[in-house]
Structure 1
Amino acid sequence: MEQGQFKYIRNEDGKVSRVIRIGTRKSELARIQTASVADKLKELYPDIILEIVAMSTTGDKILDTALSKIGEKSLFTKELETALEKNMVDLVVHSLKDLPTTLPVGFTIAAVLKRENPHDAVVLHPKHAGKTLESLPVNSVIGTSSLRRAAQLKKRFPHLEFKDIRGNLNTRLKKLDEKEDFVAIILAAAGLKRMGWENRISQILEPEDCMYAVGQGALAVEIRASDADILEMLSVLNDGDTVLRCIAERAFLRHLEGGCSVPVAVHTEVKDSQLYLTGAVFSLDGSESLKDTMQTSIPVNDKCQEEVDEKVQRVGVTAIKVGSESQANAERLGVDLATLLLSKGAKEILTVARQLNDAR
């Protein structure tokens, strides 16, 4: 039965339970990620009924063009957010790195779950098993759809060539294994682990080789900002350290006015009540770069936010069970680091990178 915008089901014993409809992309990885969130919710709230609604997004449909060339900010989120807006679903599970730093009006990220390994991983063609990027033959072709990865790795491994590769994880691994086009591909370690394919990881790229994308490895749950009950329900899923790290990263990216069409990378860490943020911008070929690190304090006895409204959104995140002072510090850290890099010429590097990418 429908009541207002919500859906309910009457059980055999006459009890009425609310149905929570969860939107997700159709890819196997997206379904696995969504199922993991659903399992946590079912464990915490055994009386709710969960219904998963899968759909294709623009990014899933356009597979012959590099992501950075499509020019759409919400490649993997637009259709899901439309379903949310039309009350077809009540919440949506995303890879946080797919979510723009500015969300459409009326939406918020209600939960950021504990981060999986955010680093990038090298997956080698079986005949090159045991090698690393450094030991691969000269002119080996490496597949990646990310300007960020290519820019850093071109600089670090000039003997390699980098070419675009598109498709979901299954498709890209099949292209690697069944053809001779690529010697290796670069993928997010988190996705490989969630798919149960850790055995395919030949090398984890440390920050010295390749810093990761903003939000990489974290799952986010997006809702309508007006759904206070859903916001409260999801708040228990928040992982405090992950929330603060990702707020800092997203604030950094937003202040730089970056996106998937420019190479921006980060590395964050929470240690001894301090949040450390390293951020960098690169030219397309990696020959030019700016990189710096800043830190801020995370108050140990920081209280949770007492009031929930759109004013406490920080780069799209409304984390009501995470200290408000810590969140404010994290956001300020991202802005301050971006401001520092901009003062050193980051805007010029990113502007040229964007122009060159558009001209490719």
Structure 2
Amino acid sequence: MKTVRIATRESPLALWQANHVASLLKERNPGLEVTLVKMSTEGDRFLSAPLSAVGGKGLFVKEIEQALLDGRADVAVHSLKDMTSVFPEGLILAALPAREDPRDAFCSPDGHTLAMLPAGAKVGTSSLRRSCILRARRPDLEIVSLRGNVQTRLQKTRDLQLAGAMLAAAGLKRLGLDHHITQVVPVAESLPAVGQGVLGIQCREADADVRALLQPLEDALTRNAVRAERAFLAKLEGGCTVPLAGHATVEDGQVYLRGLVGRPDGSLVVRGEVKGPVPEAERLGEALAEELLSRGAGDILRDFGRREGAPRA
């Protein structure tokens, strides 16, 4: 191949991610030309309401996936945490580069950590998961919905005079904005979203030339962790608009997966963990999901869940 077209959202972080993948491809394939196909998605256009109210995280990927299916692009680069558990027929997750920091970060204009916040402090987030975890730990906090790209959310935090905002550490680091971080929150305190910190590189399953170009970008440890996380997600009905987290690590041939499902108000959070050999990563994810479903997550999903793409009430 002489030219590869990468479909991407137009946000600064999405463009950084697409350009990063372009650089990796050109380093390994001298003479290869890479162009970006910049697109606006529904998730980028509807910023006036929480994601859970306008259709969920799949709104960031549908149009980009359609560009692959239509032949307008050869590759798509996503934040893996934005991707639903099931892809359109004909598309595959061709490569997963090494994961960036998966943790959440607290950014406070006044330099505070979460523990320093007084009762009633206002904290911004666009995530049901982060909101649930914060409310479970600190029911006294006031959660303020914060949509937009990373820079916009940081600016809104100042403009609205919030005590701080919760964002993904990975995005801040990739954009060189990690100086805004006043606390990187441990995984044990704020369990990350499935796929957080991972770039998901997608292409057409039948496109053997593109798959061969992308294969060297693959990181085995990241893939094995993601196998467990996404199996967990899929078993819990995929893109349900409820607070849900799942994070896996891989060490010495073992996968350690932690997961949770919670009520949006944080009044009930069902947590669990499982460990087992790498070849059983998917089974481990499914088993943890089944355990949580049996311990109360099933009731939460019935009360609050809605699949991606389902009609909104």
Structure having the higher Rg: 1
Correspondent of 1:259 among 239, 251, 254: 239
Correspondent of 2:172 among 192, 202, 212: 192
Residue segments in structure 2 that go unaligned for 5+ positions in a row: none
Correspondent of 1:224 among 199, 204, 207: 204
Match of 2:53 in 1: 69
- Measure the CA separation in 2 of the matches of 1:39 and 1:67: 31
1:153 aligns with 2:134: yes
- Measure the CA separation in 1 of the matches of 2:187 and 2:242: 18
Match of 1:97 in 2: 81
Letter aligned with residue 113 of structure 1: P
Letter aligned with residue 42 of structure 2: T
What secondary structure does 1:221 align onto?
strand
Letter aligned with residue 145 of structure 1: S
1:278 aligns with 2:258: yes
Match of 2:27 in 1: 43
How much has 1:258 moved relative to structure 2? 4.1
Letter aligned with residue 21 of structure 2: V
TM-score normalised to the size of structure 1? 0.83
What secondary structure does 2:59 align onto?
coil
Match of 2:303 in 1: 352
- Contact kept? 2:240, 2:305, Cα under 8 Å: no
Match of 2:292 in 1: 341
How much has 1:230 moved relative to structure 2? 1.1
- Measure the CA separation in 2 of the matches of 1:353 and 1:156: 21
* Alignment map for 1:46-57 (pairs within 5 Å): 46-57=30-41
Match of 1:134 in 2: 115
Correspondent of 1:174 among 155, 177, 188: 155
How much has 1:345 moved relative to structure 2? 2.6
1:18 aligns with 2:18: no
What secondary structure does 2:259 align onto?
strand
Correspondent of 1:248 among 216, 228, 245: 228
What secondary structure does 1:261 align onto?
coil
How much has 1:341 moved relative to structure 2? 1.4
- Measure the CA separation in 2 of the matches of 1:334 and 1:157: 29
Instruction: Please list the CA deviations of residues 13-51 of structure 1 after superposition, one character each: whole Å capped at 9, or x if unmatched.
Output: xxxx62111111001110111111111110111121111
- Measure the CA separation in 1 of the matches of 2:296 and 2:151: 39
- Measure the CA separation in 2 of the matches of 1:200 and 1:111: 30
- Measure the CA separation in 1 of the matches of 2:192 and 2:56: 21
Letter aligned with residue 244 of structure 2: V
- Measure the CA separation in 1 of the matches of 2:56 and 2:191: 24
How much has 1:351 moved relative to structure 2? 2.1
Letter aligned with residue 32 of structure 1: W
Instruction: Please list the CA deviations of residues 257-281 of structure 1 after superposition, one character each: whole Å capped at 9, or x if unmatched.
Output: 1426111112211122111101111
Equivalent residues, number: 309
Residue segments in structure 1 that go unaligned for 5+ positions in a row: 1-16, 299-325
Match of 1:332 in 2: 283
How much has 1:160 moved relative to structure 2? 1.1
How much has 1:72 moved relative to structure 2? 5.0
Letter aligned with residue 347 of structure 1: G
- Contact kept? 2:53, 2:312, Cα under 8 Å: no
- Superposition RMSD on alpha carbons, in Å? 1.7
TM-score normalised to the size of structure 2? 0.95
- Measure the CA separation in 2 of the matches of 1:102 and 1:92: 16
Q: Percent identity?
A: 44
Match of 2:15 in 1: 31
How much has 1:208 moved relative to structure 2? 2.7
Match of 1:85 in 2: 69
Runs of 4+ in 1 over 3 A off after TM superposition: none
Instruction: Please list the CA deviations of residues 112-163 of structure 1 after superposition, one character each: whole Å capped at 9, or x if unmatched.
Output: 11000011000112xx22x211211211110111111111111112221112
What secondary structure does 2:190 align onto?
coil
* Alignment map for 1:283-294 (pairs within 5 Å): 283-294=263-274
Correspondent of 1:165 among 119, 142, 146: 146
- Measure the CA separation in 2 of the matches of 1:268 and 1:81: 26
- Contact kept? 2:56, 2:239, Cα under 8 Å: no
- Measure the CA separation in 2 of the matches of 1:73 and 1:145: 11
Q: Which has the higher contact order (CA 8 A, sep 6+)?
A: 2
What secondary structure does 2:115 align onto?
coil
What secondary structure does 1:344 align onto?
helix
